[in-house]
Amino acid sequence: MLSGKRILLIVTGGIAAYKTPDLVRRLRERGAQVRCVLTAGGAQFVTPLALGAVTGDKVYQDLFDLTDEQEMGHIQLSRDADVILVAPASADVLAKMAGGLATDLATTALLATDKPVMVAPAMNVRMWQHAATQANIETLKSRGVTVIGPEEGDMACGEFGPGRMSEPLDIAQALIDFFHGGQPLRGKHALVTSGPTHEPIDPVRYIANRSSGKQGHAIAAALAALGARVTLVTGPVTLKDPIGVATVHVETARDMLAACTEALPADIAVCAAAVADWRTADAAPEKMKKDGKGLPALALAENPDILATLAAPGKNRPALVVGFAAETENVVGHAVAKLKKKGCDWICANDVSPETGTFGGDMNRVHLVTGSGVEDWPPQTKTQVGERLAQRIADHVTAGADATGADAE
């Protein structure tokens, strides 16, 4: 089931580290090759001798080991792996991963890798529930990291609640799901637009809007986590490209349309970008000057509608086209009208009134309009909205709904 898969297992400090020799055995039983990195904290709970015996390989501990750096190197460790699994993942290593710290071999390998990363958190319930840990988990998920568990139960510290590392068999199953199943969108191509567009007035000024791209990027990461090949076409944002997602950076609406058309064919399109409706009719080639002759008039031209273009009937039309509707009043009513006008299959209506903090913020409240009706989702983080939408899309696709979006109207 994991035949030929190379797993780099990073064991960090936590009592659950005592389960890792068993985890290694379960992974090897299923055909995986396992190599271990053991942190100083991890070595308090499990010995390198035990991990070396069950992996049949050297256990890597020290970043500045001259022999290791010559023979292997921290970069090579991740190059030689198909996936990196951090188990147990302590609150400390999650924080370092989220912050991009590289203070030892484990965190350096994690920062240097472009391979998929999975974490199995294990910690005291209060540490798990702490806002800092939850924010770190959100950050890691938004970058495409898969989180396994944690489970709820009696803890070594005598408390009860979520924070216990998933059992070795469940972690092995999560890896099998990752490689084979649990990826219902494997083989599908999803195109996602995200962020604002910038429409130049002259070489230094532009028309823009407040979109951060957080929602579109979260959707792209969530679709990739479900196995889709994802092309993300994004306007100017300060976010990192999600791991495992082919990201195309554009400035203007016309560039965005060209990049989307180039990316076709796709099975799924999700247009989450806040595309500028208008551009300047003629951007000035040089910086406009105050010449004392009065105010310049800004003549505008309408931008192409990317969603409507992708949703238009044609041989390249994705089977499922999902739009967003940014509204400030009569949210669902306007969204239903927009769905019809643009010809898409589903539309996610969201209230972007300033008091909701949606634009630029981390939370979103979505009403998903499909042909079957309106689903009112509770206020959630944009990561959660991305995951829920991706799962909803996967359910729709695997249910074999008709190619034009059978449950859309």
Interface with ligand CTP includes 307 (CB under 6 A)? yes
Least Å distance, CB 188 to ligand CTP, is 20
Phi, psi of 25, rounded to the nearest 5 degrees: -60, -40
Least Å distance, CB 255 to ligand CTP, is 12
CB of 200 within 8 A of CB of 287? no
Q: What angle do CA 41, 45, 47 make, to 5 degrees?
A: 95
Distance CA 110, CA 105 (A): 9
Q: How far apart are the first and last CA of the chain?
A: 42
Least Å distance, CB 36 to ligand CTP, is 45
CA 188 distance to own-chain centroid: 17
CB atoms within 10 A of CB 249: 14
* Alpha-carbon distances, residue 283 vs 218, 235, 275 (angstroms): 33, 18, 17
Interface with ligand CTP includes 277 (CB under 6 A)? yes
The span of 79-87, 284-292, 321-329, 397-405 binding ligand CTP (CB under 6 A) equals: 321-329
Position among 32, 123, 192, 275 found at the interface with ligand CTP (CB under 6 A): 275
Interface with ligand CTP includes 253 (CB under 6 A)? yes
Interface with ligand CTP includes 260 (CB under 6 A)? no
Interface with ligand CTP includes 230 (CB under 6 A)? no
* Alpha-carbon distances, residue 303 vs 196, 211, 257, 306 (angstroms): 13, 17, 10, 9
- By CB under 6 A, what part of segment 160-219 binds ligand CTP? 193
Least Å distance, CB 202 to ligand CTP, is 22
Whether 157 is catalytic is: yes
Interface with ligand CTP includes 94 (CB under 6 A)? no
Q: Is the Cβ of residue 272 or residue 397 nearer to ligand CTP in the bound state? A: 272
DSSP H helices, 202-288, are 214-225, 253-263
Position among 271, 311, 320, 394 found at the interface with ligand CTP (CB under 6 A): 271
- By CB under 6 A, what part of segment 3-42 binds ligand CTP? none
- Name the residues that contact ligand CTP, by CB under 6 A: 193, 253, 271, 273-275, 277, 303, 305-307, 323-326, 338
